Amino acid sequence: MAIISEVEDESSSSRPSMLPFRATFDPSNPLGFLGKVLDFLGEQSDFLKKDSAEEEIAAAVRAAKEKLRKAEKKPVENPVEKKPEKESVKPVEKKPEKESVKPTMAASSSKPTEAEKPKEEQNKETGPIVPNQGNGTDLEDYSWVQTLQEVTVNIPIPSGTKARSVVCEIKKNRLKVGLKGQDPIIDGELYRSVKPDDCYWNIEDQKVISVLLTKQDQMEWWKCCVKGEPEIDTQKVEPESSKLADLDPETRQTVEKMMFDQRQKQMGLPTSDELQKQDILKKFMSAHPEMDFSNAKIN
């Protein structure tokens, strides 16, 4: 399987150029493909020279394994909720309003108050805010936190609320959450698209609606959950630290091997596989001293 991708050249000071990356993926040797990816990074960028390169690669491996684990789980479908029958309400006759006082010129020419301004204008004037401990925002009606892969929305509701009383619609670019017979608590366009099949909601302690949204793009921090709400300063987001010691032994060994091979190649030294082959060859030569290997061409 041939894989061709384009990578931004980090050394460009103006508009980044795109560099072609070509490699053939062999399912029987996935580490060979990863090695080529690391070779390309080492040649075209300074990423591997960073002190945090190993931790960042380990974090990427953990995120990929977690994504695979979730994909293997069968999504739980919400039971179909019956729409409540509309109650007939007797129309109330409006009483004639009293004649309003004619406003003065000063009142008619006054500028709109802060509360009358659209949310987008208010956010532009106030600027981005510092994220909460979960890299999200605590708002009046709900709060939200995030990782690179997911967004979790927590909505307080009256204690004892049952699941059948909740209205929750999760679409690719829109979220609507509330209680039946009441105005929605959240009803708006999401900051970025999500994967509806990997999203779900539940009630925690019968007093909080918790909605988990799986991001479509899992390499971007959201500035807000629903467009129009206050935006956070993503430069101040603090991602969860990930170390090699946190990985399982198999994954840790794989990451350490890739990093060792990359360092060896940068110094012009043999990789772990090449060292292993050399060791086998030395043992073979020692076992057959009668053979002349001086003119042998070994690949």
Assign 145 a pLDDT band (cuts: 50, 70, 90): very high
Distance CA 195, CA 214 (A): 6
pLDDT, greater one: 67 or 126: 67
- Kindly state the average pLDDT of the residues 252-280: 83
Per-residue confidence (pLDDT) for residue 198, from 0 to 100: 94
Distance CA 8, CA 44 (A): 9
CB 226 within 8 Å of CB 170: no
Domains of the chain: 30-63 (no CATH), 137-214 (2.60.40.790), 249-287 (no CATH)
Per-residue confidence (pLDDT) for residue 157, from 0 to 100: 94
Q: State the DSSP code for 27.
A: T
Q: Read off the pLDDT of residues 224-254 as tens digits, 9 standing for 90 and up.
A: 999 999 999 988 888 765 556 666 787 778 7
Residue with the two structure tokens 């009383």 = 165
Tokens of 27: 């399912």
Distance CA 6, CA 12 (A): 15
CB 125 within 8 Å of CB 135: no
CB 230 within 8 Å of CB 129: yes
Q: Read off the pLDDT of residues 20-62 as tens digits, 9 standing for 90 and up.
A: 767 777 777 877 788 888 888 888 888 788 888 888 888 888 8
Assign 124 a pLDDT band (cuts: 50, 70, 90): low
Per-residue confidence (pLDDT) for residue 151, from 0 to 100: 96
Q: Read off the pLDDT of residues 69-78 as tens digits, 9 standing for 90 and up.
A: 888 775 555 5
Q: State the DSSP code for 61.
A: H
Strand spans (E) along 9-100: 18-24
Helices (H), 220-297: 249-266, 272-287
Q: Compute the chain's Rg from CA coordinates.
A: 29
Amino acid present at 242: S
Beta-strand relationship, 200-204 and 186-189? unpaired
Tokens of 284: 């073979």
Q: Is the overall model pTM greater than 0.85, yes or no?
A: no
Distance CA 202, CA 223 (A): 24
At residue 121, φ and ψ (nearest 5 deg) are: -70, -40
